[in-house]
């Protein structure tokens, strides 16, 4: 298994897309010999700030929430920079379950009074300071001072990760905006055959690179307490056509994100991917899970991998 930072707990928040992508970046740095622990609270705060601005310009007609995909985390880092966990965090991330509604009410009032973006931003910053905590002016680390943008760029280059998916309603080896509700920015993902995704995932892990996974966790075979995700015994081995049918009939749902941090095999030789979850440590493997290759093949919605692994 690759090195990881401590497992975190997202509480009742919808921030798995931030926790998982930051966990992936953290493990990438640990495997390079560099230690970072990154701020989910900062990304959530800045992502919601952008969303209320977008909603304001749409005269309040865009939904305001904190769901998303890992690509939204990467965009936020590129646009807004980043902070370390110790610099900016909350004790209970459930605060973010109610915070979007407060921000939406703020936006609704701003639209009614035609306040403009500057005043809206000031009101939002005051609300966020009270609800989450005031932002520092800079990031200090190892005796050096960074702007938030400098720290973000030092942690993750804007083109470092590539988003991947595998569905047959678009041609393979082309990029398209995946049609799931949480793809709020219509980000494009490279479409590859599922066999290629499995091979890429294994190759990346063996080279010491984690990946970020997004997919279906509503299946009976997904059991957090037992730390296992698998397709029922005696099921037919998943094919590209089977996963497409599950997606098109809405039996594969876009539920959750986790970091992929290792490979394992059971006593029968079946392969599993080791997943770092963000639901705390109260399960059989202290917050980690084992996802069977069959489950991965059937229920993966998207992946984010190091770009250098794509052409390896």
Q: What is the C-alpha separation between 67 and 69, in angstroms, rounded?
A: 7
- For the chain, domains (ranges, CATH) are 15-155 (3.90.70.10), 161-310 (3.90.70.10)
Q: Is the pLDDT of residue 312 over 70?
A: no
Candidates 37, 101, 39, 38; CA nearest to 66 is: 101
Using an 8 Å Cβ cutoff, are 258 and 16 in contact? yes
Q: Is the pLDDT of residue 167 over 60?
A: yes
Q: Is the pLDDT of residue 255 over 70?
A: yes
Q: Average the pLDDT over 154-170 and give the result.
A: 97
Residue position matching structure tokens 């190892």: 142
Q: Average the pLDDT over 118-143 and give the result.
A: 95
Q: How confident is the model at residue 236 (pLDDT cuts 50, 70, 90)?
A: confident
116: which 2 tokens?
A: 């403009």
Contacts of 114 (CB under 8 A, 6+ apart): none
Pairing between β-strand 288-292 and β-strand 139-141 as defined by DSSP bridges? unpaired
Cα-to-chain-centroid distance, residue 170: 23
Q: Is the pLDDT of residue 232 over 90?
A: no
Q: Average the pLDDT over 82-89 and give the result.
A: 97
Look at residue 234 in the predicted model and tell me its pLDDT: 64
Q: Is the pLDDT of residue 191 over 60?
A: yes
Q: Is the pLDDT of residue 233 over 80?
A: no
Q: What is the mean pLDDT of the chain?
A: 96
Look at residue 197 in the predicted model and tell me its pLDDT: 98
Candidates 44, 67, 66, 64; CA nearest to 111 is: 64
Q: Is the pLDDT of residue 142 over 90?
A: no
Predicted confidence (pLDDT) per residue in 12-32, tens digit: 999 999 999 999 999 999 999
Contacts of 124 (CB under 8 A, 6+ apart): 48, 49, 52, 103, 106
Q: Average the pLDDT over 33-38 and give the result.
A: 95
DSSP code per residue over the chain? ----PPP-B-TT-S-HHHHHHHHHHHHHHHHTT----B-HHHHHHHHHHHHHHHHHHTTT-S-------HHHHHHHHHHH---BTTTS--S-TTHHHHHHHHHHHHHHHHHHHT--HHHHHHHHHHHHHHHT-PPPSSEEETTEEE-HHHHHHHH--TTSEEEEE--TTS-TTSEEE--STT-TT--EEEE--HHHHHHHHHHHHHTT--EEEEE---STTEETTTTEE-PPTTPPPP-HHHHHHHHHTT-S---EEEEEEEEEE-TT--EEEEEE-SB-S-STTTTEEEEEHHHHHHHEEEEEEEHHHHT-
286: which 2 tokens?
A: 């202290």
Q: Is the pLDDT of residue 54 over 60?
A: yes
Q: Average the pLDDT over 242-263 and give the result.
A: 98
Phi-psi domain of 196 (left: phi exceeds 0; alpha: psi -120 through 50; beta: other): alpha
């Amino acid at each position: 298994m690759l090195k990881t930072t401590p497992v975190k707990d997202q509480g009742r928040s919808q921030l798995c897309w931030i926790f998982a992508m930051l966990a992936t970046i953290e493990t990438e740095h640990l495997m390079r010999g560099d230690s970072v622990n990154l701020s989910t609270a900062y990304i959530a705060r800045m992502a919601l700030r952008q969303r209320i601005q977008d909603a304001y310009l749409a005269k309040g007609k865009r939904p305001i929430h904190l769901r998303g995909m890992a690509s939204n985390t990467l965009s936020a880092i590129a646009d807004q920079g980043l902070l370390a966990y110790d610099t900016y965090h909350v004790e209970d991330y459930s605060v973010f379950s109610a915070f979007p509604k407060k921000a939406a009410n703020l936006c609704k009032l701003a639209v009614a009074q035609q306040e403009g973006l500057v005043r809206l931003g000031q009101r939002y910053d005051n609300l966020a300071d009270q609800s989450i905590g005031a932002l520092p002016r800079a990031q200090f680390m190892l005796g050096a001072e960074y702007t938030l943008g400098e720290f973000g760029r030092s942690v993750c280059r804007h083109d470092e990760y590539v988003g991947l998916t595998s569905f047959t309603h678009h041609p393979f080896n082309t990029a398209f905006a995946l049609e799931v509700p949480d793809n709020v920015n219509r980000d494009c993902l490279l479409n590859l055959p599922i066999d290629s995704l499995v091979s890429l995932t294994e190759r990346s892990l063996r080279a010491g690179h984690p990946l970020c996974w997004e997919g279906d966790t509503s299946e009976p075979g997904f059991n957090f307490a037992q730390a296992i995700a698998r397709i029922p015994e005696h099921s037919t081995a998943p094919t590209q056509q089977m996963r497409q049918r599950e997606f098109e009939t809405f039996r594969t749902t876009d539920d959750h994100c986790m970091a992929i941090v290792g490979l394992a095999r059971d006593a029968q030789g079946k392969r599993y991917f080791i997943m770092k979850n963000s639901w705390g440590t109260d399960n059989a493997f202290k917050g980690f899970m084992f996802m069977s290759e069959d489950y991965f093949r059937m229920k993966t919605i998207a992946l984010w991998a190091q770009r250098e692994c794509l052409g390896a």
